[in-house]
Amino acid sequence: MEEQRARDLAELVAVQEAAELDLLSDGLLAAQDLFRPLAEATDGLEARPLTRFLDTNTFYRAILVEGQASLTAPLAPPQLPPGRWVATLPAPFAFSRAARRAVAAGRLAADVLGPQIDAWAQAGCALVVLADPFLPVEPDAVDEAVSALRELPHSVPVALQLVFGDATPLLEALADAPVDAVGVDFYRTPLAAVPEGYPKEILAGVVDSRSSALEDPAEIGRFARELAARRPARLSLIPNGDLQFVPERIAREKIARLGRARVSLRAAA
Amino acid sequence: MSVRFLTREIGSLGKPAWRVKSFAGRPLDEADVAEARRWGERLGVEGHERLLELLARGDFGPPELEEIDDWAALYGLRLLEHAGLDVVYDGEQRRTEMYDHVATLADGFEPRGTVRSFDNKYYAKAAVVAPPTVSGPQDVDEFDYVRRHSDREVKVPLTGAYTMVDWSYDEHYAAHGSLGASAERRYDARRRFVADVAGNVIHPNVAGLVEAGAGWIQIDEPAAATKPDEVGLVVEGFNRAVAGVEAKKSMHICFSDYSALWPAVLELEDCLELQLEFANRDSRDLGTGDDDRPGYAETLTLFKKHGYPGVGLGVLDIHSDFVEPAELVRDRILYAVRVLEDPERIQVNPDCGLRTRSWDVVYEKLANMVEGTRLAEDALNSTHTAPVTA
């Protein structure tokens, strides 16, 4: 099993390298869902009731809280070049919602996510992406989500990715949030929702992880230029969520097209 | 008037190995035939010796495979009857899987590959590439076989339009210009997709089934609550799919946040009930108090508050081999009655289709479900002297 995983990871990295992506991901190949690896590494949490994920025909195991949540031992870092890898973890707000609010987002940030982020920072992680598929459907809870983010360490740059949802009602509130970047799904969010001069880096979800349709790199490039014209602090191009929602063959092609979009963007610049 | 609950399945049962291997062209071994014999005898399947001869002979062409399909349907039907259910079907033995069954038989869809559903379970996914249509009803022969072989009430499960849309890739309705598009444009694309599937794929099947004598159509919409802002489309899809048919109509939804369903589901036209999953999120301890039944309290309160529709109460966790004792089933029903204060709005079923469980586990679960239901009825029918309390 471990040998197969290593082969799969090597293949995945090769696809990303070929696309000339700046940061590499391990593709969460060993994770059954977004929450389970951390839940299984945490005292007081158990992943059990099968629950349909927001917005996809996939499931996660909802978290049962059976005591005070405390990370037993950090998850091992992926075998990727130090300083060039990106890690994906659940945002504290999403983690709390996956536990049906039985444990506060702030506590999960301080006692579970924080130690994990510190461990990966020491292991050479370049960016931690906190994925949150719940906040876009509960935008009124943004204060709770931001408050929990304040409990996180600053040992490595952190991004909050609003997965598969309209970021329009959240962007303004997140402008002052203690994160370095905000991930936006532009298949759910209109371009006009991004305020002029946004003070944070935008991780622009320009590849649709839920669609089999293959993106046109030229169209991505055109969109990225329009977005850049709104002068966010910085702009990066990413998929709008995990690529596990399309078959592997399509995921590979989408990564390649993301790379080609960046190349065409550079050429245009 | 005494209380009497209907007990039903939701849809799928696992397929016997002899059926799976036959269709996959893999050789059967003695254990497969022995399994067919064991269940044939246990369920009293009439003439099952013929199946055993067929399986022992091997070398199946299309006529033999058709016969094996009939046997699988009959075995599924007899299992549900033997467990004591009031309302039955064939365990969807003839269907590959609820999504693929529809996508494969309709024009306008093309397969795209498999993606993970959960754990290490994967499912086939298709893309819509043109407006979907069917040349006629898909499931009339399937229904007709069940009707000819059972004297129980029959409920036909059909995948709903919204779920077909939500589980498909869209390479037609939202093929171009989606990046950075407005919410209105995206919603309009989804709405057109739902309308076409409901009107041109599901409705012809529903109409054909009802014309053939089906008295109960269950529309399966497991995706119904996964995009809270699109529950209205679920309702539109249901109403369009069952428009103008004279039959009982209900909807099954599972593993979701049900709070998103109301008030939109109040617009479902003539929907007998929502059959929902509850047991998956419940405690296994006995009791009829709020704290004893965490999986039921919140959603049943919504049914109570809104008064419509009825509830198909999921009392069996279909993702676990844990066999719910009859007393646990009883307490789940009694709790629902206590919250709703109207037993006539409640019927009893598993959380969802049982296809991921072995037939042995399924049989034990369903038999206990029926027994637990009878215990609940006994408790309620004697409450003129001893009311049920928390």
- Domains of chain B are 84-381 (3.20.20.210)
- The shortest C-alpha distance from B257 to chain A (Å) reads 8
| pLDDT attached to residue B387 | 45
How would DSSP label each residue in A53-67?
PTTSS-EEEEEEEEE
Question: What DSSP designation does B202 have?
Answer: I
CA distance B369 to B364: 9
CA distance A23 to A25: 7
Q: Which residues pair with B154 in a beta bridge?
A: B88
- Among B115, B170, B227, the residue with its CB nearest the CB of A247 is B115
- Residue A219, Cβ neighbours under 10 Å: how many? 17
- Among A32, A55, A244, the residue with its CB nearest the CB of B115 is A244
Chain B nearest-CA residue for A213: B171
- Among B116, B178, B255, the residue with its CB nearest the CB of A187 is B178
| pLDDT attached to residue A264 | 75
| pLDDT attached to residue A223 | 94
- Among A49, A206, A247, the residue with its CB nearest the CB of B112 is A247
How would DSSP label each residue in B215-277?
-EEEEE-TTTTSSGGGHHHHHHHHHHHTTT--SEEEEEE-SS-GGGTTTGGGG-TT--EEEE-
Chain A nearest-CA residue for B114: A247
| pLDDT attached to residue B59 | 87
Chain A nearest-CA residue for B181: A190
Could you tell me the sign of the dihedral formed by the alpha carbons of B295, B296, B301, B306, in that order? Answer: positive
A223 interaction partners in chain B (CB closer than 8 Å): 179-180
| pLDDT attached to residue A217 | 94
The answer to whether the CB atoms of A55 and B226 lie below 8 A apart is yes
Q: List the single best residue of A50, A58, A140 to mutate versus B (max B Cβ within 10 A).
A: A50
Q: Are A126 and A84 in contact (CB under 8 A)?
A: yes
CA distance B349 to B218: 13
Positions of chain A with pLDDT lower than 70, given as ranges: 54-56, 268-269
3-state secondary structure of A35: coil
According to DSSP, the β-strands at B87-88 and A181-185 are unpaired
- Residue B373, Cβ neighbours under 10 Å: how many? 26
Q: List the single best residue of B99, B179, B221 to mutate versus A (max A Cβ within 10 A).
A: B179
Question: What DSSP designation does A234 have?
Answer: E
Q: Shortest CA distance to A186 belongs to which of A232, A143, A121, A146?
A: A232
The answer to whether the CB atoms of A245 and B115 lie below 8 A apart is yes
Encoding tokens for residue B176?
């171009």
**Does A2-268 carry CATH code 3.40.190.10?**
no
The answer to whether the CB atoms of B112 and A212 lie below 8 A apart is yes
The answer to whether the CB atoms of B179 and A166 lie below 8 A apart is no
User: Which ipTM was obtained for this model?
Assistant: 0.81
The answer to whether the CB atoms of B123 and A189 lie below 8 A apart is no
| pLDDT attached to residue B384 | 52
Whole-Å CA distances, A39 to A31, A78, B195: 11, 18, 41
- Among A57, A206, A212, the residue with its CB nearest the CB of B223 is A57
Angle between the N-to-C axes of helices B48-57 and B30-43, in degrees from 0 to 180, rounded to the nearest 10: 170
**What are the structural domain ranges in chain A?**
2-268
The answer to whether the CB atoms of B171 and A212 lie below 8 A apart is yes
CA distance A87 to A27: 9
Assign residue B113 a region: left if phi > 0, alpha if psi is -120 to 50, beta otherwise? left
The answer to whether the CB atoms of A213 and B175 lie below 8 A apart is yes
Chain B residues whose C-beta is within 8 A of a chain A C-beta are 112-120, 123, 125, 127, 166-167, 169-171, 174-175, 178-183, 186, 222-223, 225-229, 254-256, 280-281, 319
- The shortest C-alpha distance from A202 to chain B (Å) reads 14
The answer to whether the CB atoms of A187 and B227 lie below 8 A apart is no
A59 interaction partners in chain B (CB closer than 8 Å): 117-118, 255
Positions of chain B with pLDDT lower than 50, given as ranges: 385-390
Encoding tokens for residue A10?
């090597």
- Cis ω before B62 (30° cut-off from 0): no
Calculated CA dihedral for residues A187, A189, A193, A199, nearest 10 degrees: -80
